[in-house]
Chains A and B, each alone.
Chain A
Amino acid sequence: MRCLGLLKADQETEAGVPPTPELMARMGEFMEEITKAGVLLATDGLHPSSKGKRVRLSKGEVTVTDGPFTESKELVASYALFDVKSMEEAVEWTRRFLEVLGEGECEIRPIFEPSDFGEEFTPEQREAEERQRAQMDAKAKR
């Protein structure tokens, strides 16, 4: 199963304080370990929210808001995509990551897989799928 791990932002990440060389070195080792374990699919750090934007559509109207955003508990500083056997395994890897970091908070969310939708698609989904394929076929024949 795949899980998305989200590291919550804090004052330092929001201020754009770079990690110390020691932390970088320890984190490098950890990244090597988790890559060697075949578990890490992708990971990246995010710029502070001051460089971000929020786009919102409400009642037909689009609003674009520039960062920074204040409710830092809800902000994300980095993400990691894991391929694991269970949520418990994702928790264990996240625990190890946080030990390296010293402190912090992560949220882990399992990613939807086809099996989560049950044995069959709903009739609507199936119909949409068939339609899409018919369009593809028509295009291919042209």
Chain B
Amino acid sequence: MTAPNTHRAIEAVWRIESAKLIAGLARIVGDVGLAEDLAQDALVTALERWPESGVPDNPGAWLMATGKNRAIDRLRRRKLLERKHEELGHELEAQQEMAVPDLDAALDDDIGDDLLRLMFTACHPVLSTEARVALTLRLLGGLTTEEIARAFLVPATTVAQRIVRAKRTLAEARVPFEVPRGSELAARLSSVLGVLYLVFNEGYSATAGDDWMRPALCEDALRLGRILAELAPEEPEVHGLVALMEIQASRSKARIGPSGEPILLLDQNRARWDQLLIRRGLAALARAEEQGGAFGPYALQAAIAACHARARTPGETDWTRIAALYDSLAQVAPSPIVELNRAVAISMAFGPEVGLERVDALMSEPTLENYHLLPAVRGDLLEKLDRFDEARAEFERAASLTRNARERQLLLERAVACEGNLRPEEQE
């Protein structure tokens, strides 16, 4: 193999092994920042040696052994240092006792548990959301700082600082490298799921001219979600989130038109939906339900997405079921946006009058004051009820609120169409 080829092969190995490597080393040294440094050292050694020696048969084990040796070196050095400090009678800082543990026994522990610990640590609540995202993509997704920066449209130095600061925060807060138990688990898991879904949505919101790193975030989030689902198979919401992401991803080819304009769900060409991802999504949803998690917020959103995925044409959509699922969602995860979606589902299931009542109830909701979809939905319902004059005003208001030029144009077209429908006595 030529040198550049070996380098690319090493990159591929790194992509596969880095998270496991960092996770395994973090358990030994008890610090994810140090673990990442050790893993990077191992990678540098591989880059030096493999072009000559060839890639070893079991590259993961090779990297782990190399990282482990580095870890032992550092621990010994620290021990030496500690002894010197003691000899000098220095007050030791309240540093955790770093006895050199039985490393082999530690390494034989299930690597999956380490990955899980790493996910929980990277998404720890002492960190800001941005820091959790950056650390997760860096430590678990194997992305470089530059890749994360490109994907999130921020300077690389910003991401680098975020990561450095996040590692320092974890060390200073003495966050233990472990999977939380008992009552803490639910809140901590929801932080991990929140980070993955945020990464997914960032990728999903990418538009035509964007760097390919942005849509690739969907794949990164899905991959991490699938990994998590195998690490924590008894957690229903993990399967719920995976189901939601798989089904949303199944529509990625259908949701943007030829000139880059967004296409609404009901207007999408369903022949372009990815049936493989839909099947995977439905299977994940079934796993969530088997684990007794049919009513978690992610599982409910996935169940709603599944109703659309199962309908071969928009006319076949089971709106009654969707409305019922939104009822449940409004209970477990209440929000004005959920209420608005619920109103739409109710209008589809039971007619525009009932839907309009629900929407009218939201008109005084302060968080929706500048949300363009509220007047857009209201306009749509008014139009269906032949109240064209009011509908036109709502479409115009929606157009003035949206920041998407293409969407503004579509809303203004609908406003004009309403004008054409006005009966003579309604004309101004």
> Contact residues of A with B, CB < 8 Å?
1, 35-39, 41-42, 81, 83, 85-86, 88-89, 91-93, 99, 114-115, 119-121, 125-126, 129-130, 132-133, 136-137, 139-140
Contacts and interface: CB of A to CB of B under 8 A. Distances in A.
Given A86-B15, A136-B267, 11 more contacts: A35-B230, A36-B227, A36-B230, A37-B227, A85-B15, A85-B219, A91-B12, A92-B13, A114-B253, A129-B269, A137-B267
DSSP class of B's interface residues: helix, strand, loop or mixed?
Answer: helix
Contacts of A38: 222-227, 230
B280 interface: yes
B9 A88 contact: yes
Given A38-B222, A99-B57, A88 B230 contact: no
B424 to A, nearest CB: 25
Interface of B: 8-9, 11-13, 15-16, 57, 112, 142, 208-209, 212, 215, 219, 222-227, 230-231, 253, 257-259, 266-267, 269, 271, 276, 280, 313-315
Given A38-B222, A119-B208, A126-B258, A92 B269 contact: no
Contacts of A119: 208-209
Nearest to B7: A88
B222 A37 contact: no
Give chain A's interface secondary structure class.
Answer: helix
Contacts of A81: 276
Contact of A83 (B222, B253, B271, B314): B222
B267 A121 contact: no
Contacts of B15: 85-86, 89
A54 to B, nearest CB: 25
Contacts of B112: 36
Given A93-B16, A137-B267, A121 B258 contact: yes
7 contacts: A38-B230, A86-B11, A86-B15, A91-B9, A92-B13, A121-B258, A126-B258
